[in-house]
Amino acid sequence: MTLFDLLKKKILKTPRKKFDRVFWTKFNREFEPRSLWSPFRIAIPATGVGLALLVALWLGFQKMNTAAPTEELITQVEILGDLDLLAAFDDLPLSEDEWEELVSKENHDG
Amino acid sequence: MERVQQGDVAAFRKLYDRYKSRVMSYLNMMVRNRAVAEELAQEAFLRVYRARASYGREAKFSTWMWTIARNLAIDHLRKKTETLLDPHQQEGSHRIEEIESPLSNAEVMLIRNSRQEQVEKCLSKLTHAQREVLTLRTLSELNYDEIAATMKTTLASVKSLIFRAKEALIHCLKKSES
């Protein structure tokens, strides 16, 4: 019997019970193959995107439904009315003299 | 090892089961702290799997694995700023037969009857290099050339260290018995 045979019996130790559990937990954490399409990997970002879209839509509707100030609306209606009037004048076959007379009347009235 | 290189976890589990006690015991003798030895042993096996692709066929798997375990122990001891004895310092001319010669009956009885703690205490009194080479020879099943390669030293140095370790251990056990 050699020194090494005797010594082996004295120094060889079995790892404690938790050794295997701890090792394989570390191993799986590092090397376990993860499916690219696993439900959780898709569900979490998809939920986030869905929520963001809902919030954006809701905010958009809110903005559209909010009434503009009354004064602003009146001004807009007047401008549109003037544009209609000008468009109507454009269609009239007026000579230069008639046109000047109409404008001078308009200025005089208004 | 070829199967492990291809990512076969079942094959790796077999290697792990085969070597875990010996690697942990070796690291325990090196760092003299069981909890640290277990942690380092786990890291050694993780490194083996992590580096499986880089394992070269020119080296024996066991030599490669013991080198990884040894490097971890050395890194740990360096962090603890323990001075490591350079194994190259102890050159000598001992023949293998001289080192492997059977022990006398008295020596066999001495070691066999010594308590585990006493053996460990005597081993801890050896120089770092003596303790390491003796532990590697006992636990690794590597031959002297492979131990020299693992320890990055010469064959003569390994033989000398083992011879002196053997003498010092028996002397210590005799002393503690008396």
Q: Is A11 in contact with B123 (Cβ distance < 8 A)? A: yes
Tell me which architecture the domain covering B2-79 has in CATH: Orthogonal Bundle (1.10)
The closest alpha carbon to B25, from B16, B13, B38, B15, belongs to B38
B129 contacts B136 by C-beta, under 8 angstroms: no
Instruction: Tell me: pLDDT of B61 over 60.
Output: yes
For chain A, helix, strand, coil in percent to 5 are 80, 0, 20
Q: What is the ipTM of this complex?
A: 0.78
Instruction: Tell me: pLDDT of B90 over 70.
Output: no
Instruction: Tell me: pLDDT of A106 over 80.
Output: no
Better-predicted residue by pLDDT, A40 or B16: B16
Rounded Cα distance between A62 and A77, Å, is 23
Instruction: State the average pLDDT over residues B97-126.
Output: 82
Q: Closest-CA residue in chain A for B163?
A: A3
Q: Is B24 in contact with A11 (Cβ distance < 8 A)? A: no
Residue A84 belongs to some domain of the structure: yes
Domain locations in chain B? 2-79, 92-177
Mean pLDDT of chain A: 76
B26 contacts B69 by C-beta, under 8 angstroms: yes
Residue A108 belongs to some domain of the structure: yes
Instruction: Tell me: pLDDT of B63 over 70.
Output: yes
Residue A93 belongs to some domain of the structure: yes
Instruction: State the average pLDDT over residues B52-74.
Output: 86
Range of the domain at A83: 68-110
Residue A33 belongs to some domain of the structure: no
Q: Is B29 in contact with A23 (Cβ distance < 8 A)? A: no
| CB neighbour list of residue A102: distance below 8 Å, 6 or more residues apart | A89, A94
The confidence score (pLDDT) of residue A42 equals 63
Q: Closest-CA residue in chain B for A4?
A: B138
B88 contacts B34 by C-beta, under 8 angstroms: no
Residue A20 belongs to some domain of the structure: no
Percent of chain A scored above 70 by pLDDT?
Answer: 64
The Cβ of residue B135 has, within 10 Å, a number of other Cβ atoms equal to 24
Contact list in A for residue B137 (CB cut-off 8 A) is 4
Mean pLDDT of chain B: 85
Instruction: Tell me: pLDDT of B81 over 70.
Output: no
CA distance A28 to chain B (A): 10
Q: Is A10 in contact with B45 (Cβ distance < 8 A)? A: no
Residue A83 belongs to some domain of the structure: yes
In a 3-state reduction of DSSP, which class is residue B138?
A: helix
Question: Mind listing the pLDDT tens digit for each residue in A40-55?
Answer: 666 667 788 888 888 8
Nearest to B119 among A11, A15, A31 (CB): A11
CA distance B134 to chain A (A): 8
For chain B, helix, strand, coil in percent to 5 are 75, 0, 25
Instruction: State the average pLDDT over residues B12-40.
Output: 93
User: What residue type is B96 in one-letter code?
Assistant: I
Tell me which architecture the domain covering B92-177 has in CATH: Orthogonal Bundle (1.10)
| CB neighbour list of residue B53: distance below 8 Å, 6 or more residues apart | B5
Instruction: State the average pLDDT over residues A103-110.
Output: 68
Q: Which range, of A57-66, B3-12, B91-100, averages the lowest pLDDT?
A: B91-100
Residue A89 belongs to some domain of the structure: yes
* Number of compact structural domains in chain A: 1
Instruction: State the average pLDDT over residues B35-44.
Output: 95
Contact list in B for residue A16 (CB cut-off 8 A) is 34, 38
Q: What does the block give as tokens for B150?
A: 């693992």
Residue A47 belongs to some domain of the structure: no
Q: Which range, of A7-11, A17-21, B109-113, averages the lowest pLDDT?
A: B109-113
